[in-house]
Amino acid sequence: MKNKWIYIKISCMLILMVILAAFTNHRHSSKKIKAIDITYHQENQFFVDKQTVNKLLIQNKKRVENLSQEHLDLNVIESHVQAHPMIENAEVFLDIDGTLHAKIKQRKPIARVISEEQYYIDINGKKMPLSQNYSARVPIVWGIKNHQIHEVFKLLNFIQRDLFLKQNITEIRVYPNTQFGLRFRKQDFKIFIGEIDHLNQKFMNFKAFYVKAKKDNLLKKYKRIDLQYGNQVVCEKIES
């Protein structure tokens, strides 16, 4: 009989705990959003400002500030934020204090295209719209057609992985038959690389030439550096 009462007491306590937990959870979920906290993975690049992100935090055309926590669908809100063309990824979650957090990872441009259509090429080789909030300092690409983006991205990707080139290549120009030329920071000469092949060899040759010509103070004497001929660096001097 004694054991029976113990079981009854334990059962009652468990039922009471479940009721209290359900009541507490209901009170918590019925509360409105206390605050919104927006943070960025990148620093000093705000293609999408906090005001814009805040406007994206909606569900069924309702701002999250007007919704109770129990009616929030974080997956829907997160998907809506990630659909913005300047955002690569977003993480949206709610903490126990009732603050809605949005962690934003913006897309990263590696070049800006100037043609009939202006846009960025991002780190994944895809088109990225320009932003009214921020202008990225990246190389300018001229003369590109849509079908040439893949080839241009090969060159951009190579430049990105080489610190010397990344710091000094300011322009890429696409010529007929998908031939490529470059402009070098603070230099008047043009670099012609031809097709996107043997890039490692071509730029190794260029670096060797550049170091020697700079040491001999000859860089300003050239107007064109041609790297398309295998192991050769063909230089055209400025006519005196």
Domain boundary among 57, 79, 106: 106
Domain boundary among 75, 106, 137: 106
Q: How far apart are CA 118 and CA 104, in angstroms?
A: 24
* CATH number, position 125: 3.40.50.11690
Q: Is the dihedral of CA 120, 146, 125, 127 positive or negative?
A: positive
Parallel/antiparallel/unpaired status of strands 119-122 and 62-63: unpaired
- Say what the pLDDT of residue 27 is: 46
Residues 221 and 113 in one domain: yes
Domain with 217, as residue range(s), is: 109-237
- Say what the pLDDT of residue 23 is: 43
Q: How far apart are CA 131 and CA 134, in angstroms?
A: 6
Those residues of the chain that have pLDDT short of 50 are 22-29
Residue matched to tokens 């990630």 = 82
**72 in any annotated domain:** yes
- Say what the pLDDT of residue 26 is: 44
Q: What is the pLDDT of residues 56-70, one digit of tens each?
A: 888 766 777 767 777
What would the two tokens of residue 143 be?
Answer: 């003369």
- Say what the pLDDT of residue 7 is: 59
The radius of gyration computed from the CA coordinates of the chain, to the nearest angstrom, equals 29
CA end-to-end distance (rounded Å), the chain: 115
Q: What is the pLDDT of residues 134-178, one digit of tens each?
A: 889 999 999 999 899 999 999 999 999 999 999 999 999 999 888
- Say what the pLDDT of residue 69 is: 76
**6 in any annotated domain:** no
- Say what the pLDDT of residue 70 is: 75
* CATH number, position 85: 3.10.20.310
SS3 track for the chain: CHHHHHHHHHHHHHHHHHHHHHHHHHHHHCCECCEEEEEECCCCCCCCCHHHHHHHCEECCEEHHHCEHHHCCHHHHHHHHHCCCCEEEEEEEECCCCEEEEEEEECCEEEEEECCCCEEEECCCCEECCCCCCCCCCCEEECCCHHHHHHHHHHHHHHHCCHHHHHHEEEEEEEHHHEEEEEECCCCCEEEEECCCCHHHHHHHHHHHHHHHHHCCCHHHEEEEECCCCCCCEEEECCC
At position 111, the amino acid (one-letter code) is: A
Domain boundary among 56, 83, 106: 106
- Say what the pLDDT of residue 74 is: 86
Query: pTM for this structure?
Result: 0.79
- Say what the pLDDT of residue 29 is: 45
- Say what the pLDDT of residue 34 is: 80
Do 114 and 28 meet the contact criterion of CB atoms below 8 Å apart?
no
- Say what the pLDDT of residue 152 is: 94
Residue matched to tokens 């977003």 = 90
